Amino acid sequence: MNDTLLFRSLRALVLTACCVFVVAPLFVAVLTSLTPLTDISTSFAWLPKHLTLAAFTQIWSYIPFSTYFINSLIVTAFTVGIAVPIGVAASFAVSRYRFRGRRTFLTGVLSTQLFPGIFFFIPLYLIFIKLQSILGLQIVGSRIGLIIVYVSFALPLCIWVLSGYFAAIPRDIEQAGMIDGLSEVSSFVRLVLPSNIGAIIAVATFAVVLSWSEVLFASVMTTSQTETLAIALSDVVAQPTDVIHWNLIMAASIYASVPIVVAFSFVQRRFVQGLSMGAIKG
């Protein structure tokens, strides 16, 4: 009994420390965004004398924040809208059909996740420059180029993860649907997809986080008109002012985090379900 009590006490202590470690930065960020700049220019106070929401309104005029926000929404929506459907179709084909080069294809898809993004930076940049000269289209510095980059990063993981889910589903389900008069595509859409919504939401969440928070490619392959929200934070710091506007930086950070938090809160159950199913099937 003593051992059990000691174990519970240590567990509670460790969990409390982890919660403090996670919550403390969030608390500081919110508190800083609500504190006037004059009160935080010298030192940080855990109990500020004045609180204001001015930073949340000033950030929209301090930098072109609305432009960054819209750019992030467009890039994220197109990245998810392209990567997830293609990933679903490709993973189902890989899991259901046997063709020459199938294992090589899956190995190649997985190998792309073993290298950091900087490894692909110069090759992709040179490819885009060459395509611009051939097609006469603006790719570098446009949202289209950024969407292509993010899709190329999100698609391999979508294919790899979903192919394992689809491979674990017996083909008898589809064959039963085809006996009832459904086509192969209809059997897949109506019988297979509903049982794997959790997995699809999991990979979609990954694509959203990737395209919403990526900084390396967004900082180089965009212009002042196509920069994303992740770049807005650095623009706040880079403004030629005498002091760093910490309250504006924290307000911008909160604005950038809210869409992800809200979206994840709606799909949290499905997301955890998808991860749990993957762990069991794996």
At residue 204, the pLDDT reads: 87
- Tell me if 22 is assigned to some domain: no
Per-residue pLDDT tens over the stretch 9-45: 888 888 888 888 888 888 888 888 888 877 776 666 6
Per-residue pLDDT tens over the stretch 210-253: 888 888 888 888 887 888 888 877 766 665 555 777 888 888 88
- Tell me if 48 is assigned to some domain: no
With a cut of 80, say whether residue 47 has pLDDT above it. Answer: no
At residue 43, the pLDDT reads: 67
With a cut of 90, say whether residue 75 has pLDDT above it. Answer: yes
Residue in 128, 154, 152, 121 with CA at minimum distance from that of residue 142: 128
Residue span of the structural domain in which 135 resides? 64-281
What CATH number did the domain enclosing 113 receive?
A: 1.10.3720.10
Listed in sequence order, the DSSP H helices in 35-183 are: 37-40, 54-62, 65-96, 102-111, 117-135, 143-167, 172-179
Per-residue pLDDT tens over the stretch 96-122: 777 787 778 878 877 777 777 788 888
pLDDT band at 187 (very low <50, low <70, confident <90, very high): confident
Query: Domain tally for the chain?
Result: 1
